[in-house]
Every structure is written in C-alpha cells, then in structure tokens.
Amino acid sequence: MCGVVGELSNAPDVSWMDSAICDLRRRGPDSAGKVVIDSKVVMGATRLAMVDSHSRSNQPMQIDQLVISFNGEIYNYRELSKTYLKEVFLETESDTEILSRLYRLLGPEAFLSFNGMWATAIFDKSESSLTLARDPGGKKPLYMINEGDSLRYSSSFLSLARTISKPVLNKVSLVNYLHLGFVSIRNLPIDGITQVMPGEVIDYRIEDSIVLSSDKKESDKNVSKRLKVERGKRSLNKDIREAVMQSVELRTRGYDHVALLLSGGIDSTIVGLVLRELQKEVSAYSLKWEETDKDRYNYDASRAYEISKLMGFNFKLVNSFPILKLSEVTNEYLIAMEEPNCNPTGLSALSLFSAIKEDGLRIALGGDGGDEIFAGYPRYRKIARLQHLDFLFRLTKHSNFERFRKFNTGEFESWSDWHDVFSFKEIQNLLAPEYSGATNDLMSRYNALHSSGYDGTSPERETKTSAVEHCMNWDKRIWLAHESNTRLDKISMYHSVELRSPFQDLFLDGLMKEIRERFGPGLDKAHLKSAFPELEQFPTLEKKSGFISPVGHWMRSNLELIDDDISKLSERKILLEKWNTQKILNSGNYRLIRQTWSLYIMSRWLQKLIWRVGA
C-alpha cells in the first residue's frame, strides 16, 4: 500500500511534490522517492511495504522502459507470474514488478486479469505516454488536475488543493454531496480537481505543449466473464464456501497475525470463521460508546465479544471518542477524508484503526461488500416483493409501484431515493438561487445515466435483469465504490493500516453473479448462510450492523458548536434561511437529524478547504 504523485508537462514543477509526498507519508511511512524521468515527467511515491519489504521494491520502480508508481495490492500476482512470466527473470518479489511486466506484455488488458485493489501511474518512456488507472471497486483514490499544458495527479486530494491559490467551490459537486452524503461524480468540490473513476484506464501524452488524453477504457468491462469461475457439477454451497475461503487466504498470504473488524454481523463473523479455519492468529476489534443515550449503539460490541470468545480470538474493545471532543475529532476526520463525507461511522473508525496501529498490526479484514453481492440489505426484499405486483401497475399510481417501475428499467434516479440525504426538491428549497443551475445540472446528469452510463462505468443493463439486480449493481458501483470504500481506505490509511475486503474479491463477485442469474438473488444472504451452516452456532446480529454511531446524541450534546457551524452556511449565503438546529435535534426525526449532520460536516469542510479558516 502506497501513495502516488506526479506531473506531466513541458516544464514540471518539482517543488509542489515535496509537500505532496509529506501528505502521503501516512499512506506510505516505510519509504519515499521522487524521480525526474525526463524534461516532461516527474513521478513520486511513498510506500507501506506489504509485499517484499526489501528496498529493491521501493518506488517509483523502473522495469525496462516503464516507470511505475503503484498504490494497492494484486492478490493473485504469484499466479499471474506463473501463467505469463515463466521465462522472465524477476528482479524483485513484489506485485509492482508483476503489474509492470504484464502491462508491457498485455497493455491495458492486463488490468482485466488482476484480482485486487489499485491506483497506479505508469510512464512508458518509449511512447512518452502516462497511464493512470484505478480498480473497478474504487478502493484506491487517484485525483488529478489537467490545466491543458500540465497534468498533476496524486493519491491525496489535499495535496492538489494546496496548489490552487484561490480555490473555487464546484457547485455541482457540492449539490451531489448534499444529495447523497458523499461525492460520486468525476468533479470534486474544488473546481479543477477531478478523479479517475473506478475501473478507468486513461492514457496521456503531450503534443504541441497540450496534455491530451486518449479514449477512456474500462478495466472492469465484462470483468466477471473474463475472470473464469470453475464450477462443474459441484454443489452450490461448496462453490461459495471455497470462493470465500480462497479470497480470505489470498488476502492474508504471508501474514500469520491479522486484525478483524468484528461488528457482530454475519459478514464479519464469516470472515472470522475462515480465519480460524486457516489457523491465523486473530485480534478482533469492536467499538463501544460509553457516552450514548441508547443501548442499541453497543449491541455490535456485545455480540462481537461473545462471537470472539467462542472463536478463541484475542478481543479488543475500543472506546469511541469522548463526546465533548466532537469538534476536535471532526477536524481530524476531515484531514483524513480530505473530501466531504457525512457518514458518522468514519469518525468512530478513527479510534478503531488507531488501536490496530498501536498494536503493531498492518493488515485488517472486514465484512464490507457482503451485502452488495449476497443481497443482504432489507431494500432488496422490498423491491422483490413489488416485482410480484407488476400487474397492478395499470391499476394504481401508488408511489411504491412507481418506484419499482423505475427500478425495473434500471434508472439511477430511483436507486438514489433509497440513499438520498436531501431530495432535489429539498435542495432547491435549501440553497440560495445561485445554486439552482448546479442542481439542474446534476439532475440532468442523473437522467442521462440510464442511456449513457454513470461517467462511463454504469452497470450492465440487460433487459432481463431483475429490479433487485439493478439495485445491487448501483449499490456496488456508486455507494460501495464512492462512499464505503473511499471512507474506509482514507480512515485506515490515515493510520497506515491496510484494510482488505474478502467479499469484494473479483472472482467471488463473478461466481455470485452467475449464481444469482441461475438461482435468484438469495435474499437476506440466503446463499452465504447456506454455505456456512456453522454460523448458527454464533449469536450474530441479523439486522444490519457495522459500528453504527449515536450521531443525534453527539449533536445534542454539542448544540452550540453544531448550530454555530451551520449558521456559517447562512452567513455565507449558501443556505437561504437559518437552519433550526435545536428544534430539529429535539424532534427525533431521523431524516432531519441526518441532514443536520451533513450540513455540519459540509460547513467544517468548507471552512478548512475553501474558506481556509484555521487551515
């Protein structure tokens, strides 16, 4: 796991990269390097040495005519080496070298054979071209600024923002944040900064002093069909079990002692079962809130303790931050995240990964991604029920039936109804008139998703795909990639801990897509439960868990702080009217409380990155 940074231009500015590399040291504390390749290219990297800790694998790494900076892990790199590079003398034992040599051999098609997570920059000296690429799951970030005569890229959004003397707010991106609670479009909230989208491979070169990009390619196109799943006549349960086992084994290869984020739910418990079967030493971590107004926030911790005890794991109960330190922890959270995200779990996770780091562990496994491929969310069951009522569409205009109709055509707008923090109507009533154009722009982008795809990475839309499958596709491509994976990567790497996600294994995902097509989605994780019948021996939480946070209690206990920060949005003419914080927090209305939290996070982010108050 590393951080990458660089510039392509006729006159690269090396000075900004020193500061950028400092920003990336948490992602890569073991080594840092910067290479001036020629008069047009400078590449840098920091390294968290997970594979081949020898200095020979430090980055940027040069293999023949390729110079590469690589952030991530290719879990199947040994198998790929045996398949494609039998006759090649390897200079290191790292996955970075395998990636480089396979890219030289196969070009962008190489990314289709990788099972892992990555954000990489590859400069081909023979072609004078720079390739930027991200994994389909969006596990690793990669930002860039293309000013026409120069291209800067970095794993750190903040390092690029610092190069802009007078940052200007991107209103469309801000509306996107208010709508979903995170940024899911190419444009970031500061004008000029964009991201390489999950699954993209983009080539750049300089011609006549202008940085040009070639047509964007998708490394995830038909990926489940390219990653072969050997099934034969074996049982369904055995196929799933072995795929999960293989995924966990690949992610722990070379490590005898690992951390497990144990929430007490089904997914993390199954990861624990596999780790026990693989005879790994496991330290299980869970969160507790000593200052909370409701017992339910500690159900995760109590169940995790019981499960850990039954499995024989070393259990670590981590206390979340003191409630009166909310302001301080929010600032730390925004430093770690760099971009706005209003999921309160992120603040709580800071304590969790800090404890893992203090215990000297570098690898943690979690159950994230299980709901998306094993149909675990309750909304999938609701959509499936509506699917049986299709004949009633002609007889009623009830909103639930209309929602299903849109799901059945795969429209993104209906998917967002399940996730939105503010609806578009609420946003139009909330923001000053100058933001109405941005709201209309974002609505137009959403409306175009059905036909043109989500920034080039929309789910496949076969006409026979079920409404449930459409929803699962959008969940993987949008929420999982842009919210969950981004948040978990930023928070874990802030503490130099690498989080690995067995349920986001591309081979497992391909298998489950085949199984869902043949046998249905297996609602409520029916397929997964059947593959692990011993799960019944453990007191798992059936209801979705995952370290939920007492955000309402946080804000009620810090009312003056929350109200003061949100008031700044009115003072700056972003909100039309003053937000009635106290009344809303005492209302018990969860949607309004969630909206209040999102406004608080937005205000804090704007103060640090745009208005630069105390920055």
pLDDT per residue over 250-286, tens digit each?
999 999 999 999 999 999 999 999 999 999 999 999 9
The closest of 439, 444, 446, 476 to 459, measured between CA atoms, is 476
**For residues 422 and 14, what is the distance between their CA atoms, to the nearest angstrom?**
42
User: Which amino acid, one-letter code, is at 145?
Assistant: I
Query: For residues 479 and 472, what is the distance between their CA atoms, to the nearest angstrom?
Result: 10
Closest CA to 131 of 159, 160, 88, 102: 102
- pLDDT of amino acid 462: 45
**CA atoms of 141 and 131, how far apart (whole Å):** 15
CB 181 within 8 A of CB 217: no
Task: Give the amino acid at 152.
Answer: R
232-374+481-537: what CATH class?
alpha beta
Residue 298 has pLDDT above 90, yes or no: no
Which CB contacts under 8 angstroms, 24+ apart, belong to 431-436?
Answer: 431/175, 431/178, 431/574, 431/575, 431/576, 432/573, 432/574, 432/575, 432/576, 434/171, 435/171, 435/174, 435/175, 435/574
Give pLDDT, residue 115: 96
pLDDT of residue 436: 82
Residue with the larger pLDDT of the pair 156 and 215 = 156
pLDDT digits (tens, 9 = 90+) for 490-525: 999 999 999 999 999 999 999 999 999 899 899 999
What pLDDT is attached to residue 461? 45
231 pLDDT above the threshold of 60: no
pLDDT, greater one: 396 or 459: 396
Q: State residue 14's pLDDT score.
A: 84
Q: Mean pLDDT for the chain?
A: 87
Neighbours of 18 (CB within 10 A): 12
Q: Whole-model pTM above 0.85?
A: yes
Instruction: Assess whether pLDDT exceeds 60 at residue 464.
Output: no
The highest-level CATH class for domain 2-167+187-221 is alpha beta
CA distance 470 to 529: 23
Within 8 A by CB and 6+ apart from 502, the residues are 244, 247, 248, 251, 271, 274, 365, 508
pLDDT band of residue 52 (cuts 50, 70, 90) is low
The domains of the chain are located at 2-167+187-221, 232-374+481-537, 551-609
pLDDT (mean) for 396-415: 57
Closest CA to 473 of 442, 525, 505, 516: 516
> Going along 301-406, which residue ranges are E strands?
314-319, 363-365
Beta strands in 350-467, from DSSP E residues, in sequence order = 363-365
Cα Rg of the chain (Å, integer): 24
